Structure 1
Amino acid sequence: NEDSYKYLLWDHRPLTAFWMIGPGKARRLEQAGLYTMGDIARRSQWDEEWFYKTFGIDGEILIAHAWGSDPVTIADIKNYHTDSHSLSTGQVLPRPYPYDEARTVFSEMIDSLCADLFSKRLVAPHFSWWVSYDHKSLEACPNYEGPLVVDFYGRLHPKHSGGSVRMLADTNLASAAAPLLLASFDAHTDNRLLFRRLGVCADDVRLDNGSFQMNLFVDEEAVERDRQLQSTLGEIRSKYGANSLFLGKNMREGATQLERNRQIGGHRK
């Protein structure tokens, strides 16, 4: 259990003995004066942001391991999609985000996921998503009466939200996926709360064989135009860099895509 983990392993050295901590990550931790899991846990109590800024989404996993616990959202994420092949992207936001800013990032993530699907020649029939809220949400919305969960710091925060949508036809285009995903996001999140983690997943992905599934509700000419546009955008970004072309929303308050394009594996190059 968590108590025995703390007793037996909080003072254990070296950090590289623990899963997911290689020499490079251990060196960065030691440069910050963190030599044990106990050091990491204690630092996370007053400076959680440092882990997210330094290690990206791996920072959340690192903190969870230090406390001998798995983040609730990681366990819950598995329930949102089946065991079939999937492709997903997740983000730990750099600070508590209000609804409008979180929605901007969510939209960017849909674009990024669909571009990834397109570049891999994959399509998906349905998508799922999840968010978790920051514990400061209860300060921002003192009259919140929804379900609560306790994190590994013992803090109360609103229970996560999530949902899934089914496409009219298999797709890898944001023009098809975004309207449905954003509508689901709007319907199932609480816009009074502060957001901290976001994720979106393409479920049951399969190879795109290039054939169209006939559907009276799908404008095939528009789909083909979007395919050609996505192909052109991908070629330009591949040749000149991910930030050589971007959308107006990427400049909105709280947007993260341009910065993430400068990063590798959730931390700066």
Structure 2
Amino acid sequence: MAILFGMNLSGSVEEYGVPTGGQWRLDGATIDPNRWLHLSRPMTTPRKILHLDLDAFFCAVEVLRNPDLDGKPFAVGGSPEGRGVVSSCSYAARKFGVRSAMPMSQALRLCPDLIAVPHGGGYSRLSQKVMAALDRLTSYVEQISIDEAFIDVSDIPEDSETIARRIQMMIKEEVRLPCSLGGATSKLVAKIATNVGKDSVDTYWPNAVLVVAAGKEPEFLRPLPVKAMWGIGPKSAERLSRAGIRTLGDVQAWSEEALEAKLGSYGRRLKQFAFGIDDRPVSTDGREVKSVSSETTFDEDIADRDRLHSVLLSLSQRVGRSLRDDALVAKTITLKLRWADFKTITRRVTIRDATDLDQVIYTSAKSLFERAWVAGKPVRLLGVGTASLDTGGEQLSLFSQDDDREHRVQDALDDLRDRFGAAKTRWGREHSHDFGRWADVEEEKGEVF
């Protein structure tokens, strides 16, 4: 499904009469002529912005791992016995009312045949492959989450739908994942178009493409409910509904002054958004990852040391794999521990050599745990985190052959887990490592987790 517009302007430095060959210099700075052209494109030329969303990403990855899940109602997330939560659910499950962030136990009541699938890992690695494919198409790619990105394709000659279909085919062939795309002259409308496009098809994997024509944004947005607007949550939608504003057409009809009186300073911006006015550029500035962590809340409080150690190992493996998928190493290992009375503490250690190895992370986290845990005291939540991140892979210690051997073992384990699942492979022994300085800290909101 697509709405196409006839204006299809492209450009290069040659077409605009700009000297080519090499780079320019301006006030001592080096400038790429094509980059200058992209930023200085006349405002009368409509931009071509695409929003890409990997369809039910976590579920699609699990189908790659286990094709028998395809077409069945299943959910990726925690255990259904108690406090487990749905991270993602298949489209077959959504027909029963199952949704992300729903308790897994509730999801099973809605869909008794639901298959609960634990996180299998490898998501970051596949996400990186998708983004790398987009980077080959254009350098104007803004990743906004593990499964979403904006792409400015204004400088590509084809129309937006053709480009979107080409991207779909590329991702399907190279990464074997389904995706949907929305297109418009702005990021805001492109993202809404993706959602509307996915809702308009009734196939197991949407694979939708919906392009909104330049100048047609108000018409496209007018019948949509206010909750379709990016940034409008359930509470805001309810508040607007009480005021008689139920659709974006209602927002278009209200004056800016009335909206400001009802919503404050956001009212004026909402008015612009309701008409599709959004000049924010696709940002190519990378967002620095400051921490990588994983935690779990137990169905029942646990006071058994061996079981808690087993959980720490599993969490450490998840964190280690995420670091390796993102080509990161960490020097700080953090433990998060919540007692049955909900009091939460964190402990951390800075190790000598930055690492991305599961066993080093686990050994550090276990040592932190032994220092913090009171024998026999029930634990409600455990978390393992890493910080002080750097790129470039494991920084091997000088003269250390053991680290190189451990990395080869880790690579072999990753390969086995990709093929057979994380639960099939475990470390057989624990190693000891020389740690650095220790620091005990009370929990601060948003500090590590």
TM-score by length of 2: 0.31
Q: Give 1 or 2 for the bigger CA radius of gyration.
A: 2
Structure with more contact order per residue of length (Cα contacts < 8 Å, sep ≥ 6): 1
More helix by share: 1
